[in-house]
């Protein structure tokens, strides 16, 4: 029997031939394909395989063959299929990355590394998705046409769009050790720069803790180091390194105090007092921000400490299960602080449409994590740029469709909660 994937229409499977790419031996019937099998092109499960007539099958087979021989255009799907291979068992590189119950990253890992998923059962990761998707964009098209103006300043840098790369790290622990950690940072830094924006770089326990800031220095300061909330003395040294690297800003992911990987590596990470935040802010001459804010109280403490930005985030749901989604808390934080302190936000931002919603909920800049991590792994800077370009073109379209001429128009009036 012959089948094609009804989701992507780019995968063909013939039972008598099997498929070496997905380890199916010749003669494996549809019923015998394991339940965790995924389409190597789009990541959907075997339930998407449908019987195909001769003509449909041979058309689809030739698309699949082209891809397998590496003659496929280097588009986002191409890089996703490479990432899927690199992240086997960790991430299905699905076309919808929502941390949902049907995804391999969902569910408890019982002490094993969480890969691309979330803490505990992964419900906070998924909540980021459901909370953001509970907002809908409103169409406004009867008005004079205007090419959307979408550039924005952040930390003294002019960004081509209100989008940046979230700080990520941990290739060894979370990404099957697929590439060296420094190449992962280089990919996001280069891709962001060539797309006209900026990347943050994370801080992991299994490489020297200043690797990220050294990569930022190598990139001529075109990147923002974000350090774990380590002991204060070390953090102050790392802040000075960031300033010396000519980084436009430096941050701490305060919620990194919940990092299992750092505790396991016996590298202390801890909560920080407002006094310590003030000391960090005063220790360098570049803007300082704090990431991991999910409550009014923490937002107020960060603002009172003199930070240049409040970064609303729950670390992609990786540090606290059963937490709120970012879109659950962003509107109230923004109501109090918008216009007084820069507001950054991330959490299941996947498209330009999502970016526009995050802006409408009160952020100045939206940041993207997992999709860009996959791009950096699979294709370095070129792939990261490709994804950011795609987000930018969707954002342009979203602004046209919602009547936004510039980012000032992207207020609460363009969305509704359903």
Site string for ligand FMN, 325-354 (x = CB under 6 A): ---------------------xxxx-----
Q: Does 315 bind ligand FMN (CB under 6 A)?
A: yes
Q: Tell which positions 93-122 bind ligand FMN, by CB under 6 A.
A: 116
Q: Does 369 bind ligand FMN (CB under 6 A)?
A: yes
Q: Does 316 bind ligand FMN (CB under 6 A)?
A: yes
DSSP 127-142: HHHHHHHTEEEPP--S
Distance between CA 231 and CA 267 in Å, rounded? 9
Distance between CA 13 and CA 40 in Å, rounded? 11
- 3-class DSSP state of 345: strand
* Secondary structure letter of residue 167 according to DSSP: P
Nearest CA-CA partner of 216 in 228, 230, 233, 203: 203
Smallest gap, in angstroms, from Cβ of residue 344 to ligand FMN? 10
Distance between CA 240 and CA 284 in Å, rounded? 7
Q: Does 293 bind ligand FMN (CB under 6 A)?
A: no
Q: How far apart are the first and last CA of the chain?
A: 44
Per CB under 6 A, which region of 8-16, 229-237, 363-371, 386-394 contacts ligand FMN?
A: 363-371
Q: Which bin fits 154, alpha (ψ -120 to 50), beta or left (φ > 0)?
A: beta
Per CB under 6 A, which region of 140-148, 169-177, 179-187, 265-273 contacts ligand FMN?
A: 169-177
Nearest CA-CA partner of 7 in 34, 47, 55, 35: 47
Judged by beta carbon, residue 67 or residue 318, the one nearer ligand FMN is 318
Distance between CA 334 and CA 296 in Å, rounded? 10
Judged by beta carbon, residue 5 or residue 226, the one nearer ligand FMN is 226
Which one of residues 28, 81, 124, 169 is an interface residue with ligand FMN (CB under 6 A)? 169
Which one of residues 49, 86, 90, 168 is an interface residue with ligand FMN (CB under 6 A)? 168
Residues 6+ apart with CB under 8 A from 165: 188, 191, 192, 197, 198, 199, 200, 367, 368, 372, 384, 388
Smallest gap, in angstroms, from Cβ of residue 165 to ligand FMN? 9
What angle, rounded to 10 degrees, do the helices at 232-244 and 211-218 form? Answer: 10
Q: Is 145 exposed, middle or buried (0-12, 13-18, 19+ CB in 10 A)?
A: exposed
Report angle CA 326, 330, 331 to the nearest 5 degrees. 140
Q: Does 174 bind ligand FMN (CB under 6 A)?
A: yes
Q: Tell which positions 213-272 bind ligand FMN, by CB under 6 A.
A: 226, 253
Smallest gap, in angstroms, from Cβ of residue 219 to ligand FMN? 17
Smallest gap, in angstroms, from Cβ of residue 210 to ligand FMN? 13
Per CB under 6 A, which region of 266-274, 332-340, 369-377, 401-409 contacts ligand FMN?
A: 369-377
Which one of residues 176, 197, 204, 308 is an interface residue with ligand FMN (CB under 6 A)? 204
Smallest gap, in angstroms, from Cβ of residue 377 to ligand FMN? 10
Q: Does 368 bind ligand FMN (CB under 6 A)?
A: yes
Q: To 10 degrees, the CA torsion angle through 327, 105, 20, 178?
A: 90
Smallest gap, in angstroms, from Cβ of residue 171 to ligand FMN? 8
**Cβ–Cβ under 8 Å, residues 105 and 97:** no
Which one of residues 373, 388, 407, 415 is an interface residue with ligand FMN (CB under 6 A)? 373
Smallest gap, in angstroms, from Cβ of residue 201 to ligand FMN? 8
Number of residues that bind ligand FMN (CB under 6 A): 26
Contacts to ligand FMN by CB under 6 A: 116, 128, 166-170, 174, 202-204, 226, 253, 291, 313, 315-316, 318, 346-349, 368-370, 373
């Amino acid at each position: 029997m012959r089948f094609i994937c009804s989701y992507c229409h780019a995968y063909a499977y013939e039972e008598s031939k099997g498929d070496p790419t997905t380890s199916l031996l010749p003669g494996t019937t549809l019923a015998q394909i394991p339940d965790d099998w995924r389409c190597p092109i789009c990541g959907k499960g075997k339930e998407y395989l449908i019987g195909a007539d001769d003509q449909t099958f041979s058309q689809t087979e030739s698309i699949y063959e082209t891809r397998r021989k590496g003659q496929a255009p280097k588009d986002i799907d191409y890089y996703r299929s490479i990432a899927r291979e690199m992240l086997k068992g960790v991430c299905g590189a699905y076309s919808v990355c929502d941390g949902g119950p049907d995804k391999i990253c969902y569910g408890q890992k019982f002490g094993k590394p969480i890969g691309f998923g979330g803490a505990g059962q992964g419900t906070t990761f998924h909540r980021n998705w459901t909370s953001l998707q509970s907002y809908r964009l409103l169409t406004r098209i009867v008005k004079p046409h205007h090419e959307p103006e979408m550039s924005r300043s952040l930390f003294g840098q002019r960004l081509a769009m209100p989008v940046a790369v979230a700080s990520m790290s941990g290739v060894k622990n979370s990404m099957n050790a697929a590439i060296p950690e420094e190449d992962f940072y280089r990919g996001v830094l280069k891709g962001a720069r060539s797309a006209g924006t900026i990347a943050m770089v994370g801080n992991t326990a299994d490489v020297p803790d200043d690797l990220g800031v050294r990569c930022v220095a190598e990139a001529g300061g075109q990147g923002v180091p974000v350090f774990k909330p380590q002991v204060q003395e070390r953090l102050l040294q790392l802040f000075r390194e960031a300033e010396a690297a000519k980084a436009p800003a430096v941050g701490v992911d305060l919620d990194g105090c919940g990092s299992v990987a750092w505790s396991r590596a016996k590298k202390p990470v801890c909560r920080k007092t407002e006094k310590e935040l003030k000391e960090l802010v005063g220790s360098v001459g570049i803007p300082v921000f704090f990431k991991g804010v999910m409550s009014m109280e923490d937002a107020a403490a960060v603002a009172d400490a003199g930070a240049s930005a409040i970064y609303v985030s729950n670390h992609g749901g990786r540090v606290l299960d059963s937490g709120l989604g970012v879109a659950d808390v962003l509107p109230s934080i923004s109501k109090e602080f918008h216009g007084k302190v820069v507001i950054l936000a991330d959490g299941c931002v996947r498209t330009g449409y999502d970016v526009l919603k995050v802006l409408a909920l009160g952020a100045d800049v939206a940041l993207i994590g997992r999709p860009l991590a996959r791009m950096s792994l699979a294709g370095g800077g070129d792939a990261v740029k490709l994804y950011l370009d795609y987000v930018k073109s969707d954002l342009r379209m979203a602004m046209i469709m919602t009547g936004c001429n510039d980012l000032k128009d992207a207020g609460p009036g363009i969305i509704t909660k359903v």
